[in-house]
């Protein structure tokens, strides 16, 4: 059974949703027959990477919120992360365009290492305060996920995998995806958002039963 997950590196609910899905997968008896693949999605394709700008400032301007309200929302997200065992340091986040990260992720997917790199990218962005648009950061994260340094640099020094990233995004539009995370189970069932692990488990069981 195939589970495809559309996600963006800068999406906190994608990281939270990943943990909830993983918890459901642990409880799923046929988990070894589930193939998970990560799909590219950009919440803001035109975002300019700006290490000097806080995430609070970026969101306040983009959403039209006050800084005080933005910080309250961020604290709520941090508590949601804590509930699934994640430590978010949103005050350290580097606002970064995710396109190059997605290109390296496509490389990882071609080698069956996309889940490992997705985890590293999320942690780097939300916990460690690293610039996930920085080439050296991406090289380091890619190596940690089991990729070859030379292959990563070849991607970053070219436009390799740009077509694959754009193809994933276009495919999400055809499927009617409005936001991420978006989970497609055998292209027959879908879950949108960071739902509970119970919901994910129910859909896993239903999709797997339909496959038989």
pLDDT at 210: 81
H helices present in the chain, as ranges: 12-27, 55-63, 67-83, 99-110, 114-126, 135-144, 149-156, 162-174, 197-211
Residue pair 13/178 in contact (Cβ under 8 Å)? The answer is no
Grade residue 125 by pLDDT with cuts at 50, 70 and 90.
Answer: very high
CA separation for the pair 140, 96 (Å, rounded): 17
Enter the tokens of residue 77. Answer: 């997200």
94 φ/ψ sector (left φ>0, alpha ψ -120 to 50, else beta): beta
Q: Is the peptide bond before 169 cis (omega within 30 degrees of 0)?
A: no
pLDDT at 212: 47
Cα distances (Å, whole numbers) of residue 200 to 5, 27, 41, 94, 182? 12, 10, 21, 31, 12
Rounding to the nearest 10 degrees, give the CA dihedral for residues 128, 130, 132, 137: -110
146 φ/ψ sector (left φ>0, alpha ψ -120 to 50, else beta): left
Q: pLDDT tens, 12-52?
A: 999 999 999 999 999 999 999 999 999 999 999 999 999 99
Residue pair 43/180 in contact (Cβ under 8 Å)? The answer is yes
Once rounded to an integer, what is the mean pLDDT over residues 166-188?
96
Q: pLDDT tens, 85-101?
A: 999 999 999 999 999 99
Strand ranges of the sheet holding 35-40, from the earlier edge strand across to the other edge: 35-40, 2-7, 182-185, 189-192
For the chain, give the mean pLDDT.
96
pTM: predicted TM-score of the whole model, two decimal places: 0.95
Once rounded to an integer, what is the mean pLDDT over residues 43-65?
95
Q: Which of 113, 110, 180, 111 is nearest to 141 (CA)?
A: 113
- Count other Cβ atoms within 10 Å, centred on residue 124: 23
Once rounded to an integer, what is the mean pLDDT over residues 148-165?
98
Rounding to the nearest 10 degrees, give the CA dihedral for residues 35, 194, 201, 19: 60
């Amino acid at each position: 059974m195939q589970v495809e997950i559309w996600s963006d590196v800068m999406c906190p609910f994608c990281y939270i949703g990943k943990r909830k899905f993983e918890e459901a997968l642990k409880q799923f008896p046929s988990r070894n027959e589930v193939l998970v693949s990560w799909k590219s999605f950009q919440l803001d394709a035109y975002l300019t990477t700006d290490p000097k700008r806080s995430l609070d400032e970026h969101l306040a301007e983009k959403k039209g919120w006050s800084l005080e309200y933005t910080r309250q929302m961020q604290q709520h997200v941090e508590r949601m992360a804590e509930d699934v065992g994640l430590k978010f340091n949103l005050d350290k986040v580097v606002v970064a365009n995710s396109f190059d990260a997605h290109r390296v992720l496509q490389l990882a997917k071609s080698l069956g290492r996309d889940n490992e790199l997705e985890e590293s990218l999320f942690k780097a962005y939300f916990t460690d305060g690293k610039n996930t648009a920085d080439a050296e950061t991406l090289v380091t994260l890619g190596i940690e996920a089991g990729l070859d340094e030379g292959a990563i640099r070849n991607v970053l020094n070219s436009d390799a995998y740009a077509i694959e990233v754009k193809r994933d995004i276009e495919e999400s539009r055809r499927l009617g995806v409005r936001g991420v995370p978006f989970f497609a189970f055998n292209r027959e069932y879908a879950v949108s958002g960071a739902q509970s692990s119970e919901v994910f488990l129910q859909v896993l069981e239903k999709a797997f039963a339909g496959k038989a």
